[in-house]
Amino acid sequence: MTAADATRKSAGAALLDVRDLHVAYGSGVRALQGVSLEVRAGELVALVGANGAGKTTLLKSIAGLLRPQRGEIGFDGARIDGVDAPDRVRVGIALVPEGRRLFTRLSVSENLTLGTYIDADVAHRRDTLDRIYALFPVLRERAAQRAGTLSGGEGQMLAIARALMSRPRLLMLDEPSLGIMPRMVDAILEVLGRLRADGLTILLVEQNVPAALDVADRGYVVQTGQVVLSGTSHDLRDSDLVKKAYLGI
């Protein structure tokens, strides 16, 4: 049994617990309508669904970038739906947003340094950076290069690495495969698998449903702001809804 397996086995309560979440935008459009889900420590959970289903809204709500109309968000047994976004980073939540949102005029190393703003310990930050470079060797090679000159796949690696610099307990990723070559998608998913094996808890939003279900323990299917199906990756892959809507079977 791996350390991550032991963590999952011993975890009784969810690390992340979302209950009856409702979110609407200024125009009155309801983006989430009573969404509930949980992610246990050490799990990799996938959120799948079409564009506009509400997946990104859910991640932004968990990260504190959007405030729900009602509902609860719990993290490690404490409610955080009233906590500001920077403080959610401090308790261990990191988001890799869609589109990467890199500081393109800064170097790779400067982007990574910005990911450690909550850590004032220089030695600790240096140790974290060494771990990141071991995970993404190409970023060490590109350390002095401006982030805006990276390839799409390398830029996505940098976005993930920057989030990992805060040493999160929950890593959330929004469409990490979007706009990058299949070879780089495979490399990024392999890294996510290694992080999961090391015990990191991951919530993954991904339109590439087969790829998401290949790496996830469990998943939730989101349609029009609601969770319409959940289960193990195996169960979702075998469901008629997923086969027809997302797998083309």
Confidence of residue 52 (pLDDT cuts 50, 70, 90): confident
- Nearest-5° Cα angle at 215, 16 to 220: 45
Q: Is 123 helix (H, G, I), strand (E, B) or coil?
A: helix
The token pair at 249 is 């079977």
pTM summary value: 0.89
What pLDDT score does 4 carry? 45
pLDDT digits (tens, 9 = 90+) for 189-218: 889 999 999 999 999 998 888 888 999 999
What pLDDT score does 56 carry? 94
* Domain boundary assignment for the chain: 3-30+44-102+168-245
CATH 3.40.50.300 fits 3-30+44-102+168-245, yes or no: yes
Instruction: List, in order, residues 6 or more apart from 18 with CB less than 8 Å away.
Output: 35, 36, 37, 38, 58, 62, 71, 72, 73, 74
N-to-C CA span, the chain: 35
Q: How many residues does the chain have?
A: 249
What pLDDT score does 249 carry? 65
What pLDDT score does 109 carry? 92
Q: What is the mean pLDDT of residues 178-195?
A: 88
Q: Could you tell me what percent of the chain has a pLDDT over 90?
A: 64
Q: Is 158 helix (H, G, I), strand (E, B) or coil?
A: helix
